[in-house]
Structure 1
Amino acid sequence: MKFTTLPNTDIKVSKICLGTMTWGEQNTEAEGHEQIEFALEKGVNFLDTAEMYSIPGKAETQGSTEKIIGTWFKKSGKREDVILTSKVVGPGNSMEHIRDNLGFSKEAITDALHKSLKRLQTDYIDLYQLHWPERNTNFFGKLGYEHDEEEKWEENFQEVLETLNEFVKEGKIRQVGLSNETPYGLSRFLEESRKHDLPKMITIQNPYNLLNRKDEIGLTEILHRENVGLFPYSPLGMGTLSGKHLDGIQENSRLGLFPQYKRYSNEHAVKATIAYAEIAKKYNLNFAQMSLAFVNTRPFVSSNIIGATSIKQLEENIGSIEVKLSEEVLEEINKVHEAYPNPAP
């Protein structure tokens, strides 16, 4: 395993992070525990979760993933062996089952954090992230920003950081970060942290893969210049970039079970996937590992969030850390990207 240090901290994490959002939906508690143990054996020390998991979000399973991690902590006594992240949800339709007070008010964050700590059976979270912005912006499959003149949101970057700072001082969270955020949002949080000596957002968790490199357009310059790390999620595009859907959506796969997730199935995304698969075949590379290795080796990536529903998948995904891509492979990947830029934002 390879390791990195989270920006502006002394927290050492594996370059592969174990994503957990299927636990409680596609995976049982026993399977979640098995995945943690297997990942630890392979050198992974980093777990990512959220208060709304498992996914897709619904009342019957909300918080189930944190509970599964919590029972593993209690059973194993290995809380100190793991770097743990979780997230607080922003506002959204059909999210009322999570809490009555959605968003990032002091009341909402306080409620969310304490409920997460209880489910996780721990006294602290190493990295606490805002799951998505409160304001209307271009996230979840939308490339272009469209301004909403009717928007009710009022700027509150300083207030949010002040709330988080209280929990940092109390020792309930160690560091703070963002998720599904834009260059504007990250920049504003960084500005307020400097201006008022408040905690810095050290990471941002966004979708990033061969079919979605949109963050290279504006965000990655900020990451480099401000020393902020990227946690890519969906590095395989919900399994698309393993090649398993090239002959049709697999029945028991995530895309088969939840057809509402269509962002990786449009015409241009399919054509790009076929082209990337040909590169893997040409150079005798495992397609999934090639896709992950590309993400692993980007200089702005702190840790790559992988997910799996089986130990076999998990072993293959973790194994991508040992895969090196030649300059020839990278050149061919970039040619495909130029032909089909960001077909699955």
Structure 2
Amino acid sequence: MKMLKLGRTDIEISDWCLGTMTYGNQTPEIDAHQQMDMALDAGINFFDTAEAYPVNPISAETAGLSESIVGNWIKSSGRRDDVVIATKVSGPNPGWVRDGRGYDGEVIREAVDASLKRLQTDVIDLYQMHWPVRGSYMFRQNWTYDPSGQDRAQTMDHMMDVLTALDDMVEAGKIRSIGMSNESAWGMTQWTRLAEENNLPRMASVQNEYSLMCRLYDTDMAEMAVNEDITLLSFSPLACGLLSGKYQGGAVPDASRLSLNGDLGGRMTDRTLPVTQVYLDLAAKHGLDPMHMAMAWQRTRPFPVSAIFGTTTTAQLKHLLDGLSLSLSDETCQEIDATHRTHPMPY
């Protein structure tokens, strides 16, 4: 297992991260605990959750269940010191958390304590903001993104309020490091600038979507990451299961994500399955499992990445772990890049 530093912190994380967003919904607690044991035994020491999880669907009635299931594992396993636990505070939302209220300094102080209680731990290793309060171009909003209504002074005040609250939490020993999610290059540089100028906690990571099918991160964000020592925690590295091939031919397996939310969060377009097939064919050409290829590709990137994968069942996790040691040839990587140039951003 390849290990890397989380940003500029002294926290060491595996370059694969176990995502828990189905725990408490698609994945029962007993299976979730087995997954955590399996992942840790395989060398994966990094688990990611959020106060809003589980998803598929996300709802006020189930928000917090994933954290609670992780917390029950922490308590029963006795392996807290072996893992790095990451969670997130929700931004403005349709009512899943706090009746839709996003986060500010006051909310963060309350939300940290609530997450600690559910996680049954004294400290959160990485505390993240799930999406910017000012808005985000992520989740297919890039096609019509319009930042013209943003108020810069208001954004700076908000960032300082949040960083000050996070500093309080660090000083209290409740969190060790901080990160953003669904953030832009401009946003990340502002968070880091304000932190450095005011001796406040510095962003160690950003959790954005990144896969063979979604490579928005490759330009401005990549440059930001290299120059500011920000670790990418890439979510949906398997493109929400598309790269497993299970949806080809219009198939909709029972209890799959597509069966539950209809369009994979806007990822199902007229181009999605044809482009997916190109990657499936490329993997077959090189004698590779497409899921193993997709995960191994994350290790080839010219910036630090820990890829967050989610598996609904232990059987899926076992299959994925079978490709843990795979390294891609230069030829395969060159063909992946050529495929991307020919079929950019299918959704």
* Counterpart-to-counterpart distance in 2, 1:258 and 1:328: 37
- C-alpha offsets along residues 4-29 of structure 1, whole Å, 9 cap, x if unaligned? 12121221111111000000010111
Q: Confirm or deny that 1:299 pairs with 2:307.
A: no
Match of 1:270?
Answer: 273
Match of 2:91?
Answer: 90
Instruction: Give 1:144-155 correspondences, 5 Å limit.
Output: 144=143, 145-149=145-149, 154-155=154-155
Aligned length: 342
Which 10-residue stretch deviates more, 320-329 or 101-110? 101-110
| Cα drift, residue 132 of structure 1 | 0.2
Q: TM-score, normalised by structure 2?
A: 0.94
Q: Confirm or deny that 1:242 pairs with 2:239.
A: no
Instruction: Give 1:217-256 correspondences, 5 Å limit.
Output: 217-248=219-250, 249-256=252-259
Match of 2:130?
Answer: 131
Match of 1:77?
Answer: 78
Q: Confirm or deny that 1:119 pairs with 2:118.
A: yes
| Cα drift, residue 149 of structure 1 | 3.3
Contact 2:139 2:265 in 1 (8 A): no
- C-alpha offsets along residues 68-113 of structure 1, whole Å, 9 cap, x if unaligned? 0111111112111110000000112233xx2247222222111111
Match of 2:108?
Answer: 109
| Cα drift, residue 336 of structure 1 | 1.2
Match of 1:202?
Answer: 204
| Cα drift, residue 166 of structure 1 | 0.6
Letter of the aligned partner of 1:3 in structure 2? M
Instruction: Give 1:167-182 correspondences, 5 Å limit.
Output: 167-182=169-184
Q: In structure 2, do the counterparts of structure 1 residues 281 and 150 end up closer, same or farther at CA, with 3 Å as the change threshold?
A: closer
Q: Secondary structure of the equivalent of 1:17? A: strand
* Counterpart-to-counterpart distance in 2, 1:153 and 1:341: 36
Which 10-residue stretch deviates more, 125-134 or 320-329? 320-329
* Counterpart-to-counterpart distance in 2, 1:217 and 1:267: 26
Contact 1:89 1:131 in 2 (8 A): yes
| Cα drift, residue 262 of structure 1 | 4.4
* Counterpart-to-counterpart distance in 1, 2:175 and 2:266: 33
* Counterpart-to-counterpart distance in 1, 2:168 and 2:76: 30
* Counterpart-to-counterpart distance in 2, 1:295 and 1:113: 31
Q: Confirm or deny that 1:160 pairs with 2:147.
A: no
Q: In structure 2, do the counterparts of structure 1 residues 329 and 120 end up closer, same or farther at CA, with 3 Å as the change threshold?
A: same
- C-alpha offsets along residues 147-188 of structure 1, whole Å, 9 cap, x if unaligned? 353879921212211110110011100000000111111011
Match of 2:141?
Answer: 142
- C-alpha offsets along residues 166-214 of structure 1, whole Å, 9 cap, x if unaligned? 1001110000000011111101101101111111101000000011001
Q: Secondary structure of the equivalent of 1:47? A: strand
Match of 1:45?
Answer: 45
Q: TM-score, normalised by structure 1?
A: 0.95
* Structure 2: segments with no counterpart, 5+ residues: none
Q: Which one of the candidate residues 308, 313, 335 is aligned to 2:311? A: 308
* Counterpart-to-counterpart distance in 2, 1:148 and 1:299: 32
Contact 2:94 2:100 in 1 (8 A): no
| Cα drift, residue 245 of structure 1 | 1.0
Two-structure CA RMSD over aligned residues (Å): 1.7
Identity in percent: 39
